[in-house]
Chains A and B, each alone.
Chain A
Amino acid sequence: MSLFLPLAVSGLNRGVSVFHPASPATESIRHLFILVLAISGAIFLVVEGVLCYSILRFRCRSSDPGTEPPQVYGSKPVEIAWTAAPALVVFILVLVLARTEYEVRVRPPKPQPGDEALFVTVVGRQWWWEYRYEYFNGEALGFVTANELHIPVGDAERARPVYLTLVSADVCHSFWVPRLAGKTDLIPGRQNSMWLQTTEAGLYLGQCAEYCGTQHAYMLLRVYAEQPSDFRRWLENQRKPAVNDPSVQTGRQTFLGLSCVNCHRIRGTSAAGSYGPDLTHLMSRATLAAGVVPNDRLQLRRWVADPQQIKAGCLMPSFGLSEGQVGAIVDYFLTLR
């Protein structure tokens, strides 16, 4: 059973397996996991082996005499032996796990110029993620985005660690991107922290791992690890206010005239709500609604027309907008690069 586990997952690399680590922390957890699997596997074989042997060897046969077998009441030395042996294993395991614990849970330092470290505050919300970019390389950033986290990759010279501060705006959530880090909960009234770091560029998937209500299943996570130059370009773009394209003024006016502004912010406009995702650079995201559908014209239309069709129970109501209003708003959205 336990031997079967690493085999079963070794062929699969879907970006969410804990046996495909892409960070120092998940790498050391994998080592520990394999050690524990090996120990349990050995115990499993021994115990099931003795069980099978006893079943075969000591089953009642018709040739048995009619009397009872010899009654053995116990044996102190044997008991001491099988108390001491597991105790030793436990002792060793505790030492090893203590080491891993310290490797994995790193305390975040203070941001400093030249550290090339990224600091982001993650706010868990029913059922999407808000990212407040705080510092990169000691420089204050101060913009907010949603659902897709961008981080720089490290290399031989610079590790480029990412420190997340985890808080919640409503209920408990848990931030889990299996290839980058074990999970850490976001709990109202508490502040947790987390450390990510990788040298492999790419998209890392994950999702909320603490039940948080109706759409817990669709509170997905996407982390883009990018080359430093790409990352900087992305940063520069995010820091700018929204594009103001005169060709979509109708859509812009429609949007700003509706209650959308109570919940959404588009920097550079009067829309300053913070209950829903920041839409300033909506089109820089590949997906909508925390990774549920691709972010394109079709899905945007569906979403604006009736978000409940895509994510039933989500906290954005359906407004019953006309075809024309939806079309105009989506045209406007498509310019928000």
Chain B
Amino acid sequence: MATIERESHVESPPWPARVHDWLTTVDHKKLGIMYVALAMGFLIIGGIEALLIRWQLMWPESRIFGQDTPTLFNQLFTLHGTTMVFLVGMPVLIGMANYLVPLMIGARDMAFPRLNALGLWTTLFGGLVLYLSFLTPGGPPAIGWFAYAPLTGHTFARDVGTDLWAMGLLVSGVGTIGAGVNFLATILAMRAPGMTLGKVPFFVWTILWTSVQILLAIPPLTAALIMVVLDRQLGAHFFDAANGGSPYLWQHLFWFFGHPEVYILILPVFGIISEVIPVFSRKVLFGYEFMAAATMGIAFIAMGVWAHHMYCVGLARTVDIYFAAASLLVSIPTGIKMFNWLATMYGGRIRFTAPMLFAIGFLAMFLIGGLTGIMLAVAPVDFQVSDTYFVVGHFHFTLIGGTLFGVFAGIYYWYPKVTGRMLSETLARWQFWLLLVGFLLTFGPMHVSGVLGMPRRIYTYLPDRGWDVWNQISTIGALIQAPSYLIFVWNLMASLRSGPPAGDDPWDAWTLEWATTSPPPPYNFEEVPTVRSRRPLWDFKHPDDPDWKYEG
């Protein structure tokens, strides 16, 4: 019904008008789509960088770029890390939240639509500033994504690439802070009548706490980046030991941002998974209150564990033990989440459509990343495996096995709402299996090479170390993964034209976004709905047995 209506009155305006409309829009849905598109673009760029890195490491003593190999390799991993964290991970999640939060809480837009647009464009601008470094004589920065001082000082990084890196992150960070403020205001002030904070969809709850973390973590990074720029451009000495500064201070500042950052990249995904699993298991989320408390718990504890990235800097022993204990504490609320998801599936009627497939992939893979995280939190173990490929394996299990699988689950779930079309299930399955197999082959062996003594960030290694096989398996895995991303992008584009029409509520779901048309009109809801429980559409579909009878 909705689709027919749409098609009958659509008369596309000429393309310059459409471009102008997208460039000047303050509509949260269009901005959300552009955020996700931006992230996909950078995902491809970051992926190409990863493939080059893997290609160089396939054989010991290889030099795929000849004499320039060391520098180019160092630039590649710097860009890869920076891109994936700042230009893929955060934008894709912020974009999805942008699209969904107002719809899920029954609002007509975000609280500050113009700030929202500013956020998108500063993120893009920051990314362009970073990549501008390719046009400078010295090329991109070669400092690693956590850019330990004094490598970022003028003495060791003379070229302008490092300045562009710092400014790019500074600018995009401002956009992120704006997004955080906006989500907070929207979620706190614009919920539909009847939707108390305890009744928001779980995804919205996780975005609330992600925003809190954004506001606590990004400003210290911004400050630290300004210090880098001052050191480089105006001869300040914040991180210059010879003049009374402290490189060690940078590490504290960076990880005070860096650890919460990993939760900024995973909490929203916990939210996605908590929407997808119930709908495709046909059961209400098990233990909503405990899940909500666990989310809060993670957000709080995560602020006090940053120095587990610094066990090897020679902290006092008691400090090591404190940070180890605090880091291990995070595993308790995370465990609660895992168990509640399993309990939600347990006793359900599980439908293995694409979103659920990726959600299950998330559960299976994120678990592994979580467990290796426990190993790394144990300080003395970390003395050995810190800064090795074991760590590289660990965080790719959390960021690909966790964040990316979750994002795919979310995109397969909400794409019909956004476009009014279904994605191809066949392509989804190809993508899933290629990604899963390729991912396991790429990152599984890294745990082994790490334990065998291979440090991260080395452009090559000697043949006598016994690391060749593991690196070769990794590279083959990367080659298997690569097509899965192309299939995904193809699926997104092809289904836009030829996907079967989705209808308003293709998954028979329960949250408010499924109550409006697909795609939703600019004003989202003709009439602002009144809400009585966490699953308003369940109440609507089961008037005899509504949720609000059971919720406390």
Q: Establish whether residues B374 and A40, one from each chain, have CB atoms under 8 Å apart when the complex forms.
A: yes
Find A217's partner among B245, B381, B458 (CB 8 Å cutoff).
B458
The residues in B between 320 and 356 inclusive whose CB is less than 8 angstroms from any CB of A are: 320-321, 324-325, 328-329, 331-332, 335-336, 338-340, 342-343, 345-352
Interface centre among B288, B328, B360, B451 (most CB of A within 10 A): B451
Q: Establish whether residues A54 and B346, one from each chain, have CB atoms under 8 Å apart when the complex forms.
A: yes
Closest to B445 in A: A8
Determine the distance from Cα of A48 to Cα of B342 in the docked complex, in whole angstroms. Answer: 10
Q: Establish whether residues B335 and A86, one from each chain, have CB atoms under 8 Å apart when the complex forms.
A: yes
Q: Flag whether B480 is at the interface (Cβ < 8 A).
A: no
Q: Flag whether B526 is at the interface (Cβ < 8 A).
A: no
Determine the distance from Cα of A69 to Cα of B349 in the docked complex, in whole angstroms. Answer: 7
Tell me the smallest distance from the CB of B291 to a CB of chain A, in Å. 9
Mask of B356-395 contacts with A, CB within 8 angstroms, 1/0: 0000100110011001101100111111111110000000
Q: Take A98-B321, A101-B380, A189-B241 as given contacts and tell me if A312 and B313 are in contact as well, using a CB distance cutoff of 8 Å.
A: no
Find A83's partner among B148, B332, B350, B372 (CB 8 Å cutoff).
B332
Q: Flag whether A299 is at the interface (Cβ < 8 A).
A: no
Interface size class on chain B is: 35 or more
Q: Establish whether residues A90 and B363, one from each chain, have CB atoms under 8 Å apart when the complex forms.
A: no
Specify which chain B residues have a CB less than 8 angstroms from the CB of A104 in the assembled complex.
380, 383
Q: Take A100-B380, A213-B151 as given contacts and tell me if A17 and B321 are in contact as well, using a CB distance cutoff of 8 Å.
A: no
A-B contact count (CB 8 A): 284
Specify which chain A residues have a CB less than 8 angstroms from the CB of B245 in the assembled complex.
189
Closest 4 CB pairs of A and B: A182-B383, A16-B453, A189-B241, A217-B458
DSSP majority for the B interface? helix
Determine the distance from Cα of A14 to Cα of B470 in the docked complex, in whole angstroms. Answer: 14
Q: Establish whether residues A36 and B375, one from each chain, have CB atoms under 8 Å apart when the complex forms.
A: yes
On chain A, the number of residues with a Cβ less than 8 Å from chain B's Cβ atoms is: 92
Find A29's partner among B335, B371, B384 (CB 8 Å cutoff).
B384
Tell me the smallest distance from the CB of A221 to a CB of chain B, in Å. 11
Determine the distance from Cα of A114 to Cα of B340 in the docked complex, in whole angstroms. Answer: 62
Specify which chain A residues have a CB less than 8 angstroms from the CB of B352 in the assembled complex.
59-60
Find B387's partner among A2, A8, A101, A209 (CB 8 Å cutoff).
A209
Determine the distance from Cα of A323 to Cα of B317 in the docked complex, in whole angstroms. Answer: 55
Q: Establish whether residues B347 and A58, one from each chain, have CB atoms under 8 Å apart when the complex forms.
A: yes
Interface residues of B (CB under 8 A from A): 67-71, 74, 142, 144, 148-151, 155-156, 241-242, 245-248, 281-284, 286-290, 312-314, 317, 320-321, 324-325, 328-329, 331-332, 335-336, 338-340, 342-343, 345-352, 360, 363-364, 367-368, 371-372, 374-375, 378-388, 444, 447-448, 451-462, 464-466, 542, 547, 550-551
Q: Take A94-B325, A193-B314 as given contacts and tell me if A1 and B368 are in contact as well, using a CB distance cutoff of 8 Å.
A: yes
Determine the distance from Cα of A251 to Cα of B168 in the docked complex, in whole angstroms. Answer: 53
Specify which chain B residues have a CB less than 8 angstroms from the CB of A61 in the assembled complex.
349
Specify which chain A residues have a CB less than 8 angstroms from the CB of B385 in the assembled complex.
18
The residues in A between 32 and 60 inclusive whose CB is less than 8 angstroms from any CB of B are: 32-33, 36-37, 39-40, 43-44, 47-48, 50-51, 54-55, 58-60
Q: Establish whether residues A74 and B290, one from each chain, have CB atoms under 8 Å apart when the complex forms.
A: yes
Specify which chain B residues have a CB less than 8 angstroms from the CB of A69 in the assembled complex.
281-283, 347-349
Mask of A167-199 contacts with B, CB within 8 angstroms, 1/0: 000111010101001111101111011000000
Specify which chain B residues have a CB less than 8 angstroms from the CB of A166 in the assembled complex.
314
| 10 A-B pairs in the complex with CB atoms less than 8 angstroms apart | A9-B452, A12-B452, A14-B465, A58-B281, A79-B336, A83-B290, A188-B150, A193-B314, A207-B458, A312-B67
Q: Flag whether A212 is at the interface (Cβ < 8 A).
A: yes
Closest to A193 in B: B314
Q: Flag whether A236 is at the interface (Cβ < 8 A).
A: no
Specify which chain A residues have a CB less than 8 angstroms from the CB of B457 in the assembled complex.
211, 216-217
Q: Establish whether residues B142 and A214, one from each chain, have CB atoms under 8 Å apart when the complex forms.
A: yes
Closest to B153 in A: A171
Q: Establish whether residues B379 and A79, one from each chain, have CB atoms under 8 Å apart when the complex forms.
A: no
Q: Establish whether residues A59 and B347, one from each chain, have CB atoms under 8 Å apart when the complex forms.
A: no
Specify which chain A residues have a CB less than 8 angstroms from the CB of B156 in the assembled complex.
170-171, 213
Tell me the smallest distance from the CB of A196 to a CB of chain B, in Å. 13
Find B384's partner among A59, A71, A87, A183 (CB 8 Å cutoff).
A183
Q: Establish whether residues B380 and A97, one from each chain, have CB atoms under 8 Å apart when the complex forms.
A: yes
The residues in A between 222 and 271 inclusive whose CB is less than 8 angstroms from any CB of B are: none
Q: Flag whether A157 is at the interface (Cβ < 8 A).
A: no
Tell me the smallest distance from the CB of A90 to a CB of chain B, in Å. 5
The residues in A between 70 and 124 inclusive whose CB is less than 8 angstroms from any CB of B are: 70-75, 78-79, 82-83, 86-87, 90, 93-94, 97-98, 100-102, 104-105
Closest to B470 in A: A8
Find A74's partner among B142, B247, B289, B364 (CB 8 Å cutoff).
B289
Q: Take A5-B448, A58-B346, A313-B70 as given contacts and tell me if A185 and B455 are in contact as well, using a CB distance cutoff of 8 Å.
A: no
Interface centre among A78, A181, A185, A212 (most CB of B within 10 A): A185
Specify which chain B residues have a CB less than 8 angstroms from the CB of A312 in the assembled complex.
67-70
Q: Establish whether residues B284 and A71, one from each chain, have CB atoms under 8 Å apart when the complex forms.
A: yes
Q: Flag whether A139 is at the interface (Cβ < 8 A).
A: no
Q: Flag whether A215 is at the interface (Cβ < 8 A).
A: yes
Determine the distance from Cα of A312 to Cα of B74 in the docked complex, in whole angstroms. Answer: 13
Q: Establish whether residues A51 and B364, one from each chain, have CB atoms under 8 Å apart when the complex forms.
A: yes
Specify which chain B residues have a CB less than 8 angstroms from the CB of A90 in the assembled complex.
325, 328-329, 331-332
